[in-house]
């Protein structure tokens, strides 16, 4: 148990560090204007156009760092601070989200897999912790291990989703950076800043995946240890 708390504590601190660095990077680069003066909305619309995507809308969404691509209604949702801003950070985020739209349009396999996992993971995420808690109680009581196994399987689905998300996010960033550079929207030091911002954004997904794997291993060890004592 102490080992789990130690790992959880370390991952929490790492996660906080990456999150704070991400916010710091975007805060800094949000004050660095693009030489072209294009807003996040204009960057997104241009990237979609250059990739022959005509059926995706770019819209503004409330909040901060709430940017996302919705494949269900084909919308690139940009937070208010990105939508109207002409900063390097805004260009990087807008292009990244359009990277997902390009993935969708080209049938990128990992995005398709992640989309298929979404409804299943929504259910497993809500249920896994409760099922595992009940399963642990039953193991302590020397009862059936089936509930704990079900809980582990449910949590494993969330872990798989975290792992599948990694190539999806990195690929979207790579598409974004390649397009930004090829079009000259970000060049030289500006391109380095855009790359740095997206790098830290990607690391939040890496931390989430590692944390999920560590937790899954812990649950499996609890289960196997309890069974070995029977």
Residue 79, SS3?
strand
Quickly tell me which residue has 């250059």 as its tokens.
50
d(CA 202, CA 213): 17
Of these residues, 42, 45, 97, 169, which one is catalytic? 97
> What SS3 class is residue 220?
helix
Q: Is 97 a catalytic residue?
A: yes
User: How many contiguous H segments (helices) and E segments (strands) does the chain have?
Assistant: 7, 3
Contact assessment for residue 216 and residue 161, using Cβ atoms and an 8 Å cutoff? no
Locus of tokens 């991400």: 22
Sign of CA dihedral 104, 108, 113, 114: negative
Token pair of 53, please? 């995507």
Give the strand order in the sheet containing 57-61: 57-61, 75-79, 68-70
> Using alpha carbons only, how large is the chain's radius of gyration in Å?
21
Nearest to 194 by CA among 25, 47, 68: 25
Rounded Cα distance, 144 and 148, in Å: 8
Residues serving a catalytic function are 97
């Amino acid at each position: 148990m102490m080992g789990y708390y130690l790992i959880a504590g370390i991952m929490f601190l790492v996660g906080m560090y990456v999150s704070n660095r991400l916010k710091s990077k975007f805060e800094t680069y949000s004050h660095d204007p693009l030489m072209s003066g294009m807003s996040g909305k204009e960057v997104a619309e241009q990237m979609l156009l250059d990739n022959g995507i005509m059926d995706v809308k770019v819209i503004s969404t409330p909040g901060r760092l709430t940017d996302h691509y919705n494949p269900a209604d084909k919308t690139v949702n940009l937070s208010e601070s990105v939508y109207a801003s002409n900063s390097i950070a805004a260009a990087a985020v807008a292009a990244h989200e359009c990277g997902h739209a390009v993935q969708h349009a080209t049938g990128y396999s990992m995005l398709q897999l992640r989309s298929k996992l979404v409804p299943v993971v929504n259910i497993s995420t809500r249920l896994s912790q409760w099922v595992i808690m009940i399963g642990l109680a039953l193991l302590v009581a020397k009862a059936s291990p089936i509930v704990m196994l079900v809980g582990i399987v449910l949590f494993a689905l969330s872990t798989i989703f975290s792992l599948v998300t990694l190539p999806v996010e990195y690929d979207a960033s790579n598409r974004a950076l390649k397009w930004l550079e090829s079009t000259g929207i970000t060049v030289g030091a500006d391109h380095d800043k855009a790359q740095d911002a997206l790098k830290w954004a990607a690391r939040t997904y890496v931390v989430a995946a590692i944390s999920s794997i560590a937790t899954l291993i812990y649950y499996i060890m609890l289960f196997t240890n309890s069974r070995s004592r029977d």
